[in-house]
Each structure stands twice: as structure tokens, then as C-alpha cells.
Structure 1
Amino acid sequence: MADRFDLIVIGGGPGGYVAAIRAAQLGMRVALVEREHLGGICLNWGCIPTKALLRTAEVNHLLHSLDSFGLAADNPRFDAKKVVERSRKVAAQLAAGVKHLLRKNKVTVFEGHGALAGPGTVAVRNDGKTTELKAPHVVLATGARARTLPGIEPDGAVIWTYKEAMVPPSMPRSLLVIGSGAIGIEFASFYADMGAAVTVVEVMPRILPVEDEEISALARKAFEKRGMTILTGAKVQGVQRNGEGARVVVEDEGGVVREIAVERVISAVGIVGNVEGIGLEGTRVQVEKSHVVTDGYGRTGEPGVYAIGDLAGPPWLAHKASHEGIVCVEAIAGLNDVHPLDVTKIPGCTYCRPQVASVGLTEAAAKAKGHEVRVGRFPFIGNGKAIALGEAEGLVKTVFDARTGELLGAHMIGAEVTELIQGYAIARAGELTEAELAHTVFPHPTLSEMMHEAVLAAYGRAIHY
């Protein structure tokens, strides 16, 4: 006889496990099916371990910049094995924490591969055995995987995906990153700070193409100042492996073809949803470009079947998945104050050096939507805390609707902006205007003062610049 639940979640990543816990809090009997690691790609092979690596890279950078702080240390160096070990320990600690939280909230965890097996039914396969689960509601949270380019398939040795890039047996002296989205740029930044000669190849006209154009330009300038080679409007035509690494054939934006010799290549050209093998055949679930089509509450075209997180499309962010899971479950529970997912209120963060963060519309997107805009800018060089920290390069930019004062978007580059952006995210969620933000008192001396000044600057009222 099948085990019966109120809700079954397939996938234990940041969308799935959060959805399961919230459902349990709301009094549901919940099952969570996970085939590999609780916490998903984000916790085990993405968000968390990469941040541990980037923290190491930041410390390494500071060690080589001690003179500017009046300090000195002889021969700072690193142990690649210990760098990786620390990153893996951080991931393991948090994975254990997720397991504890699920147990604490009385979520029943099933190990194995889960798939739809008829209305209200999920089959879990593990070690040749199949367990049948029943529930009126099934949430698909199977995530996504790295996309591969034909002819440039990762081999784990010379051509890496994010997984191999996180556990290098030794630090390469040179590498080429294909793709300049958040994943590609974070790895480029990490390896550059660890001493590698880094080349980034991006097919779009600019790096970090989803960010505001002004921020992208500043990021490129900062990366090139660090010694990175940035090629935009460029295509990788092929990778020729050899005993020393690889020779990458690149056609630049002018049509000139060149060969670049590097030890390693990182492929970071996007992701595809894990839609295969989860029982979508014969259902009314729609799939477009490898992602499940949903409404603002995670509902699919099949009654009782929902999809959240990377499986449900962009933005491919852990915090989007978690929030989406909560929205989905609270709607299932019939709560009255559930609002559909609004992706323009979800902040995006890239943890390179300098950091990049944003929420809402870019200046160009706001204008394209017909808004008359007021734009405010405030540079890090005008902020006392930034100068004291030795982090005087960066910019905070705000975009307001000129008629209503609505904060349409905010865009930042510089130290700790991934921590600062939540202030503007709150403003977006609360539908605040420039009036409330201008009358908010920001503490001094802090980096957050720049957020206030960038609001004032949009209305010609900035004090310190």
C-alpha cells in the first residue's frame, strides 16, 4: 500500500526543502524525495562552497595588498588542497543542517529518484526498489544542470564545469572562461585572485549582460585593471586538447580568429532544467526551453502538480526558489495574503571582486517600458567608510519613475553590495517612493549611506558628491 501524504516535494534543494518545511509548519503531512544531496546544487556545489572559495580569494588578495594598510607579511602563499577542503567542509556542515531542519519539522525524507506515476502518485526508485507515495499535491523542484556546447563538452580534466572548477587538485596558471554570467564571472574572479591568467569569452556585446549597462561597463574596467582579458561579442569555435591543457579557437567581434593557449577551460554557458525522467509524459505540464511553465503560484497545466526553482525558469537564484516554494505552498494551503511571484522584486547578486548586485529594472528596461525616469548615482569615492576600508571604487545607481517616484530599479558595483542590495529590495517589496527613502535616516559611517545619497542624487539633492 502506498504511503499517503498531503504534499510531496521532489527535490531537496533550496526550493524543495524550504517548501517542505513551510508546508509542515502549516500542518501538512509532507514527504520530500531527494536522489543525491539534501540542499541541492546550491548548497553542495553552488552558492555556498563557491562563496567559501571567493572568501579565500579575497583574503589572498588582501595578503598581497598589506602595504596599503601599513602591514607586512613575508611570502604569503596558499595550499590548494586546504582551500578546497575548507569549501567542502562548509558545504557539508550546512547540508547536515538541512537534514536536521527537515527532521525537526517532521518532514519524511525518501532517498531515491522521484517521478510522477499517475494522478497524485509519485514513484521513488532506489537500489532497484520502488516505493509508491500518494498525495493530492506534488511540487516539482528538480533544479537544473549546466548547459554544454556541441564540440566543447566538459571532460573533467581540461574542460571543466562548475563542479570541477570548485575542486581543483592544483591551481592552474592560466584558464579561459566561456560565458560571463554570474557563474562564469565568479570563477574568473576567484582564479584571478589566486594568481591565474584569466581570459573571459562572452558572445554578447558586454559581460554580465543581465545587469545595467553602466554597471557592466564598470565591471569590465575593474576586471581588466586586475589583469583579466575580456573578449565580448566573441565565439569559441573549438577547443583542441593537448598534453599541456588546451588551445581555444576564438573568433572576436571583428571576425578575427585567434588561438589562446590555457591550462584549463571552464564552460559556464547557462543551464537547462531537469525535466527528463520525472514523469511529465502524458500530463498537461508544459515545457518551454527545458523549463516547466507555471503561473505566479507555481501551478502547472496539470491539476495538483506544481513546479518551483530553476526547473520553473529564470531568474536562476536560490532565494527565488525558496520564496517561490513558500508562495506555492501557502497558496495550496489557502492562505489569504499570498502574493504571486514578482521577479522584478528579486535581487540578483554576483560575488566577484568587485561585487555586483541589482534589483528591479535597468535604466534601459525602464525606458523601454515607457517610463520617464530619474536616475541617481553615487560613487564609492564619495563615501568615508569605503575610503577607510580601502574600497573606494564602485557605484550605487537608482532608477525612479519621474512621475510617481516609484523605485523601479537599483544597481550596484563595489565592496559588500551583495549585502546592501536588500535595502532596495525591501523598498521594492514595500512599494516605497523616493519620499520615504529620502526621509530614512542611514547610520554613519557606513557603506549604506551611499544608498541614501543615490536616492537624493536622482532628485538633485546629493550632499557628498
Structure 2
Amino acid sequence: MSEQQFDMIVVGAGPGGYVAAIRGAQLGLKVACVEREHLGGICLNWGCIPTKALLRSAEVLHQAQRAKEFGLKIENPTHDLDAMVKRSRRIAKQLSGGIGFLFKKNKITTIMGDATLTGIGKVSVRTKDGTEELVARNIILATGARARELPGLEADGNRVWSYKHALQPPHEPKKLLVIGSGAIGIEFASFYNALGVDTTVVEVMDRVLPVEDAEISALAKKAFTKQGMKILEKSSVTKLDREDDKVIAHIESGGEVTAHEFDTVISAVGIVGNIEGLGLEESGVNIDRSHVVTDEYCRTGVEGLFAIGDVAGAPWLAHKASHEGVMVAELIAGQAAHPVKPESIAGCTYCNPQVASVGLTEAQAIEIGHEVKIGRFPFQGNGKAIALGEPQGLIKTVFDAKTGKLLGAHMIGAEVTELIQGYVVGQKLKATGKDLSETVFPHPTLSEMMHESTLDALGRVIHM
């Protein structure tokens, strides 16, 4: 069988792989992209996009239920879960089709099948029609990750769900247990709780959203509890007894194990890299806890082989994968590379209220030796937030006390997943508290709170 020659082969068409392929083609490279399931990967088909579509439906329902506060009359708004899911799937399908259009536009060869590395610069692809052999000087692994499954807590698609089952639920839960309070777990908890589902969240760490600043986590817990969620911290599920119509969860908390009955369980206990069947170990690739080990330029140490996105480790975020994809494509094309710095990547959780952050938490900054100045500004002091009917929230900024450098920013409240990018740009441009304090923020906007939080760190806050 003849080999097809390319300048670059991308394995995986998620937000890292498809972006890398497009950027490579833009730079004049002959590119092939191999995908075994869906163009757009998990993010577009089963993660970022469809979950946000569902959460938007829940948000609209929540606002309709508050109509009287805004002088409106909407009688007894209810939801149709099947219609919500159909809308979510329609959006995912639309965007996946868009990737196919972009590949054709950029003359990228798309091959649907399972890829295996067979040597330096060689990829064998098992397709429905047989096997295709591809050759390129540079190969990018962008195979992503999948849900971690703990022994005894495996998803079955009936009463115990993974994120995929939660996106296309076989039934509407009445009493739900969510195992894990990271972004995935808390987003699904927030969605189903908004539909009126009796929702309990179990978190093994000492607080919900454990990667966030402790102050933000505490405010999130307060908000979730007010909405009716039950939050069990420093707790774990030791066993699930499954029956046709219910699950008995054995929950350990404070050294004591108690049994609780639910009709549905969502397991959201992390992810593992998709490394199986790729021939990585035979190729000499180093693996650490299911993820490919790379340097700051995403090089694996094997000639011409790169790994980007979730398969290359934390942070497991689509925008990190996309940026790495661009960087590697440009590196392959002979351009200057700009390594992705994890501390400059924002994290966003689309629960209600939203949570967003970038950089160091207050505790992290102190732990590594910074003397810090902290600024805070509450949503209740902002005119736009009050006008929106969203007066609950906080923006917190962390600066180095000696240099004024912006070390981190942490937010909870309405639309903070949009606001956080202002601080991301600030970090990229090495902005100081002085720089931000001298920046004019438009009025009336939520962004003014970013200014006020900075002023608070400098002892100059105006509206508090």
C-alpha cells in the first residue's frame, strides 16, 4: 500500500487538533487530520458547547421565575427537558459541521479512523474501508481525555451517569447525587438543581470548587446552599448499590458511613488522557498518570512528535489546547513560538453564579513567598449589577506588594466568565495595579468592579 505524504499530521480533531490543522494549512503546510469519532472533539460535541446550551436554558428558566422582580408577568414558567436536550444537540451538530467546512476551505485532508504511531513520522489509520498509511516529518497528538471512572462508581447509562449520559439523560432525575465538585460536576449540579431536582454534591476535598481561591469557594457554597443544593465536603462515596429504579450511595463523612437513596448519580471525578492504542510506549513517549509528558513547546522528546491539549495534562481547558495547537503549527512552519504559560490561562465555571479566575490564589501567592496586596469589590456596590438584578458576587485581585504586579484575579457572580479576560490581557501585558488603576472603565458596566477591586488593593476604593 502506498503512503500518503504530508508536512504535518494531526491526530484528533478537538479544539486543539482542528485549530492546529487550520493554522498549519494557513501557513502553507500540507495537513492531514485523523479523527475517530466527531470533528470538534469532546468539547464541541459533548462538553463545552452543549453544556453551555443546557445551562443557558436553565438560566432563562431562572429569570422567568423571577419575572415579578422586573415588573413582568409570566405565569408558572416550566421546563421541557427533552426540548432543552434537542436544542443542545442541534447546536453541537451545527458547530461540528462548521469544522468540516473549515477543513475543506483550508484544503485539509480529513481521515476518519483510529490512528497508531508505527515509527518516526509514520501513522497507520484503521478506517471503515481498511488501513491508510500516512507519513509526515511532524505529528501532533491531540487525542484529548475522557471521564475518569473509579472502581465501583462506573457509569452504566441507566442510574449512574457520566457527562455524556447527563447531556442526553434517559430520564429526568428527581433526587440526584453528583460525585465531585470540579467544573463538570458543579455545572451539572447547577443545571439540574435549576430544574427543581433535589441535588446533593459530594466533594472529597475540604471545599467545593477546590482549585479556586478559598474565599470564592466559600461564597459559591453559600450561593449553592441558598439555591437548595446539599453540599457534603470532606466526604466520599465508598459504594453504590444499583437497582432498576434507584441507587443506594454509601457516603463516608467524618469517619462515619451512611446510606442515602437517589434515583440518579453523576460521576464527575476527573479525567484521564486518551493514550491507549496509539503506540506511544513503543515510540518511546513518556507517560505520567495517563498523560503525555512534554516540554513548554509541547515536544515529547521523540523526533517530530508533539502533544497538545488534554492528553498533555493540566490545565484541561479547550482554550489552552487551541493556543498550544497554534503555537506548535507555527513552530513546525518555522515561525517563532510563544509557549503557553499555565498561570496566564483563565478557568471558567458556568454554574449559577458563575466563577472565573486567572493566576495565583491568595494562598498560592503567599506560599511561594510573595508579600501580597488584596483588593475586593462586591457586586452590591455596582450600579449595573443592581440594575441587572444580580447584586450577589465578588471580584478579588491579588497583587505583589513590592512590584505591583498582578498575580491573580478571582470572581464569582453574573457574567464573570466574560469579565475575566480583562485580567488575562492585563497579565499578558505585565500590567501593575497602578496601570489598572489609571485605566478608564466604561460606565455603567460590570467591568467597573475590576477597577474598584484594583483601587481597593491600593487603598483608594471609591464606591465602598
Is TM-score (shorter-chain normalized) higher than 0.5? yes
Structure 1 residue 335, shift from structure 2 partner: 1.3
Aligned partner letter, 2:404 = G
1:135-173: per-residue Cα shift (whole Å, max 9, x none)?
Answer: 000000000010001011110000000000011143211
Match of 1:159 in 2: 160
Structure 1 Cα separation of the partners of residues 172 and 386 of structure 2: 32
Match of 2:363 in 1: 364
Structure 2 Cα separation of the partners of residues 363 and 327 of structure 1: 30
Aligned partner letter, 1:310 = D
Q: Do 2:16 and 2:309's aligned partners in 1 also have CA atoms closer than 8 Å?
A: yes
- Asked whether 1:351 is paired with 2:364, we answer no
Partner-residue secondary structure (3-state), 2:19: helix
Structure 1 residue 75, shift from structure 2 partner: 2.4
Partner-residue secondary structure (3-state), 1:58: helix
Q: Do 2:310 and 2:317's aligned partners in 1 also have CA atoms closer than 8 Å?
A: yes
Match of 1:458 in 2: 457
Q: CA RMSD in A?
A: 0.9
1:45-82: per-residue Cα shift (whole Å, max 9, x none)?
Answer: 00000000000001111111111112222221122211
Match of 2:273 in 1: 273
Match of 1:12 in 2: 13
Q: Do 1:399 and 1:407's aligned partners in 2 also have CA atoms closer than 8 Å?
A: yes
Following superposition of structure 1 onto structure 2, how do residues 205-284 of structure 1 map, counting pairs within 5 Å?
Answer: 205-252=206-253, 254-284=254-284
- Asked whether 1:448 is paired with 2:428, we answer no
Mind listing any 5+ residue stretches in structure 2 that lack a counterpart? none
Aligned partner letter, 2:295 = D
Structure 1 Cα separation of the partners of residues 281 and 216 of structure 2: 43
Q: Do 2:158 and 2:170's aligned partners in 1 also have CA atoms closer than 8 Å?
A: no
Q: How many residues align?
A: 463
Q: Do 1:81 and 1:170's aligned partners in 2 also have CA atoms closer than 8 Å?
A: no
Structure 2 Cα separation of the partners of residues 10 and 167 of structure 1: 27
Aligned partner letter, 2:440 = V
Aligned partner letter, 1:408 = L
Match of 2:419 in 1: 420
1:434-456: per-residue Cα shift (whole Å, max 9, x none)?
Answer: 12111111000000000010111
1:407-435: per-residue Cα shift (whole Å, max 9, x none)?
Answer: 00000000000000000000011111112
Aligned partner letter, 1:387 = I
Using the size of structure 1 for normalisation, the TM-score is 0.98
Q: Do 1:175 and 1:196's aligned partners in 2 also have CA atoms closer than 8 Å?
A: yes
Structure 2 Cα separation of the partners of residues 340 and 77 of structure 1: 48
Q: Do 1:275 and 1:291's aligned partners in 2 also have CA atoms closer than 8 Å?
A: yes
Structure 1 residue 243, shift from structure 2 partner: 3.2
Match of 2:25 in 1: 24
Following superposition of structure 1 onto structure 2, how do residues 304-343 of structure 1 map, counting pairs within 5 Å?
Answer: 304-336=304-336, 338-343=337-342
Structure 1 Cα separation of the partners of residues 224 and 205 of structure 2: 17
Structure 1 residue 386, shift from structure 2 partner: 0.3
Match of 2:409 in 1: 410
Partner-residue secondary structure (3-state), 2:370: coil
Structure 2 Cα separation of the partners of residues 258 and 380 of structure 1: 39
Match of 2:396 in 1: 397
Aligned partner letter, 1:37 = H
Partner-residue secondary structure (3-state), 1:330: helix
Structure 1 residue 239, shift from structure 2 partner: 0.8
Structure 2 Cα separation of the partners of residues 445 and 261 of structure 1: 48
Structure 1 Cα separation of the partners of residues 62 and 175 of structure 2: 17
The worse-fitting range, judged by mean Cα deviation, of 219-228 and 99-108 is 99-108
Q: Do 1:171 and 1:194's aligned partners in 2 also have CA atoms closer than 8 Å?
A: no
Aligned partner letter, 2:415 = E
1:380-412: per-residue Cα shift (whole Å, max 9, x none)?
Answer: 000000001010000000000111111000000
1:246-302: per-residue Cα shift (whole Å, max 9, x none)?
Answer: 1111011x2222222111000000000011101113222100010000111110021
Q: Do 1:81 and 1:169's aligned partners in 2 also have CA atoms closer than 8 Å?
A: no
Structure 1 Cα separation of the partners of residues 99 and 306 of structure 2: 22
Aligned partner letter, 1:451 = M
Partner-residue secondary structure (3-state), 1:403: coil
Match of 2:59 in 1: 58
Structure 2 Cα separation of the partners of residues 221 and 228 of structure 1: 10
Aligned partner letter, 2:192 = Y
Q: Do 2:159 and 2:245's aligned partners in 1 also have CA atoms closer than 8 Å?
A: no
Structure 2 Cα separation of the partners of residues 177 and 403 of structure 1: 43
Match of 1:34 in 2: 35
- Asked whether 1:140 is paired with 2:141, we answer yes
Match of 1:434 in 2: 433
Following superposition of structure 1 onto structure 2, how do residues 40-119 of structure 1 map, counting pairs within 5 Å?
Answer: 40-119=41-120
Using the size of structure 2 for normalisation, the TM-score is 0.99
Q: Do 2:354 and 2:417's aligned partners in 1 also have CA atoms closer than 8 Å?
A: yes
